[in-house]
Amino acid sequence: MAEDSFPGWHGTTIIGVRKGGRVVVAGDGQVSLGQTVIKGSARKVRRLSPGGSDVVAGFAGSTADAFALLERLEQKLEATPGQLQRACVELAKDWRTDKYLQKLEAMLIVTDGAQLYVVTGAGDVLEPEDGIAAIGSGGNYALAAARAMIDGEHDAEAIARRAMEIAASICVYTNGNLTVETLEG
């Protein structure tokens, strides 16, 4: 569908920061339709607990599509307990090859506290070299801000919160209403 024929859902910024044995995933709450804010308090970071192990996932893109992907990810995690990388790779393979899943428009940041991945519909399972991953319309702003702070004295949560604050001050599709989840590595 052409960008000019329907304004589309925009927005969100999700960041994952690994530092000091902790991984923090933070996401804003804004959902926009074109130039209109539809909701300011959406929860785009979720804690999953398949098979008793904690996994945190944040999503950017279509909410319904992201929920379909999170459901699939939970199934993959249940089939491969304790193997986040394998579950993410299996999800990415399905996403790339399944005709229904190929149409889904979303991206995920996923962590189990030890590993941090970005999972995309192009079949990518990316592990950031510097322990910082960001997605969504304000993702590049949050990523740059977090990279500038990562070697300082701030912990992972402080970095994620400040990076989100900076992204919200630049990206009109990002607000300061955060959901923050933390896992110990």
**Residues 97-128: tens digit of each pLDDT:** 877 777 778 899 999 999 999 998 888 999 99
Known binding site for Na(+): residues? 168, 171, 174
35-83 pLDDT, tens digit per residue, is 888 899 999 999 998 766 799 999 998 888 888 889 999 999 999 988 9
Query: What is the dotted CATH code of the domain comprising 9-178?
Result: 3.60.20.10
Tokens 């993959």 sit on residue = 76
Extract the annotated binding site.
168, 171, 174
**Does an H or E element contain 6, and which?**
none
Tokens read off for 9: 């859902």
The alpha carbon of residue 55 and the mean position of all alpha carbons in its chain are separated, in whole angstroms, by: 12
> Would you kindly state where each structural domain of the chain is located, as residue ranges?
9-178
Q: What is the rounded CA–CA span in Å between residue 143 and residue 53?
A: 27
148 pLDDT band, cuts 50/70/90, is very high
Active site residue 12: yes
Which residue of the set 12, 13, 179, 182 is catalytic? Answer: 12
